[in-house]
A and B are shown apart, each in its own frame.
Chain A
Amino acid sequence: MRLLLVVLLAVSGQAVAQGDARKWLDDMSGALQSLDYDGTFVYLHDGKLEAMRIIHRMDKGGQRERLVSLTGSAREVLRDDKMVTCIMPDNKSVMVGQSRPPQPFPVVPRDLDSVSPHYLLEDVGDDRMAGYAARVIAITPRDSFRYGYRFWIARDTRMLLKSDLTDVDGKPIEQMMFTRLSIGDDIPADDLQPSLTGDGYTWHSQVNVRRKPSHPEGKPAWQAGKLPAGFSMTHFQHKRMRDASSDAQHMVFSDGLATVSAYVENVDSVQEPLVGLSSMGAMNAFGVLRDGFQVTVVGEVPPATVEMIATSLNPAGDNE
């Protein structure tokens, strides 16, 4: 009886600790969306160190954000609650996508039981970062199909100060850290204006067109035969990709924390087919050509995860 009590207390203690960690993550997500801030940070990925500036303002019109590279080819992303505009001088193109309005749902699901088999949430303790008192929250994956995270969160404002994205062994894959951050100061409207006009660039729009689903009941015509433990499909839509003539079936898979997108599109609408693995920091993509379709799976998950999903996606009838 005493042993049972000890075990129960230990389990409930761990649940409380995970709940505290979740609260810090929710607060951080809220701060990133609701605070006015202007900061410079460094970003380490793939052995390269970049410097960037982010300017974010929240007002009656909603969120506005400008992210600009201070090194390299001066790429720039402008974002509000409706649109995302990516200006890319390196390939002289501008891509306009949709923003989904900020969601009220928490960063980590309320039902911790659903993520606990796959991640451990921990409140690691206090530290200092970029001159601010910070709390360190760690999310550790329990297998190699997902990444881990470590966040340094300002104790007073709950603003993100530094983040590490790690593999299952805790080895950093991507890191970002503010070297200068001002919070709460007035953000001049000019600072949220792009420095490039995009004149002479090729513009691509992903703004969705309403189109009848090609499959009865709006279900995807393709399905994954194999998914890593904990992942399930959470969303499906037809999605415009580059222009009005390119349409993809877009399936979103999630394990409660990590998100993976799968796109199936006619190979004729793809300029350069993507086959095999490709990476952008911790973002991995895996492409497969199957039955005249380009299957592309992307997500902030390890290569094995995107490969498993991409290679198991088949027309729905083939899996039944």
Chain B
Amino acid sequence: MSPPAPPLADLVRTVRQSREYHRLTNAIPYTRFMGIGVENLAGEMLCRMRYTPHLIGNSLLPALHGGALGALLESSAIFELLLQTDTGRVPKVISSTVDFLRSGKAQDTFARAFITRQGRRVANVRVEAWQDDRTRPIASSHALFLLSEP
């Protein structure tokens, strides 16, 4: 008999079917704190970071904190791996590189992740984030993740 599956793996399996993404994002304290959610818009899975004043990194401009944009990019990659592959655990980030392209305004930010390669142990994921205009991204990243052991 196999040991009982961890609750998060059950939740991920449920949400893959039901698409009630808020059940998963609410189960992760940091994404809840950052206001990061997963949405299905026109058949495409996107992440949205809802603007709250505590995300500001420069009060004078004002502009979003680079770390908050990094958090959105990383969360987007993790949700893509959790929901679009059959991994059972939260993938562990090995390394990431973030390019900051434009300053983030005090408004909602969107992100879309693309799995560029998924091996047995390691996945490469590229993410872009934008605000008003998707053709003018404000940040992009590429990252390596360790998937759950088989």
A and B co-occur in one complex: no
Q: Give the interface of B toward A (CB within 8 A).
A: none
Interface residues of A (CB under 8 A from B): none
